Amino acid sequence: MAQDILKTLKAEHDVLRGLFADLKETTDRAVKKRADLLGKIESALIPHAKWEEEVFYPAFKERADRDGLQTHAEALAEHHAVENSVLPEVHAAAPGTPVFAGRTKVFGEFIEHHAKEEETTMFKMARELFSPDERARLDEDYEMWKQSNPVGSLIAAQKAKAASRAP
Ligand SMILES: [Fe+2]
Ligand SMILES: [Fe+2]
């Protein structure tokens, strides 16, 4: 089957959906499980979001019409809200608390909203803007990008950035 970046990104959204569903079912006593699931969520989310920001969104923006540009701005603003506000609040909560449960619920809802929006609007537009060949090439590029940008270093970079912003 031909590779398609839009299918890969959608499949990664589905992985995240599954992890958030598991997290939602944990109790305040499941401290280790919660920390574990949060780690898995970040390992899945951060490379996905970084590559979208560095490669996919700019490529999309270059070809987008007016509606596409609005969609692009919207998606990027949502990424920033997660990085600058939603995730730092999650990290400021102890996993064995209702605060953590509440904040990760919002985190999951935010990601669901964003993923749905990408799938129903942005990816739909991208299917028209990029040929099957281009989508296959983007998929290969993403694979290679992941190999040269290991999850651990991406997360470390994000944490360093968050720490430098902390009051
Ligand atoms: Fe995104
Ligand atoms: Fe995405």
- Which residues have C-beta under 5 Å from ligand 1, the single-atom ion? 52
Instruction: Confirm if 17 and 115 have CB atoms less than 8 A apart.
Output: yes
**pLDDT value of residue 1:** 58
Residue 165's pLDDT band (cuts 50, 70, 90): confident
Q: Residue 55 C-alpha to ligand 2 middle, in angstroms? A: 12
The bound ligand whose nearest atom lies closest to the alpha carbon of 77 is 1
Mean pLDDT of 99-127: 98
The bound ligand whose nearest atom lies closest to the alpha carbon of 119 is 2
Q: Residue 10 C-alpha to ligand 1 middle, in angstroms? A: 10
Query: Could you tell me which residues come within 8 angstroms of residue 34 by beta carbon, excluding any fewer than 6 positions away?
Result: 23, 26, 95, 96, 100, 104
Distance CA 20, CA 37 (A): 8
**Which amino acid, residue 99?**
V
Query: In the chain, count of helices (H) and strands (E)?
Result: 9, 0
Instruction: Confirm if 155 and 43 have CB atoms less than 8 A apart.
Output: yes
Per-residue pLDDT of 152-164, as tens digits, reads 999 888 888 877 8
Q: Residue 58 C-alpha to ligand 2 middle, in angstroms? A: 14
What does the block give as tokens for 116? 């749905």
Per-residue pLDDT of 17-63, as tens digits, reads 999 999 999 999 999 999 999 999 999 999 999 999 999 999 999 99
What does the block give as tokens for 59? 């490529």
**Tokens 């990085």 -> residue:** 83
Nearest-5° Cα angle at 105, 99 to 107: 105
Residue 88's pLDDT band (cuts 50, 70, 90): very high
Q: Residue 7 C-alpha to ligand 2 middle, in angstroms? A: 11
Residue 133's pLDDT band (cuts 50, 70, 90): very high
Q: Flag whether pLDDT at 166 surpasses 70.
A: no
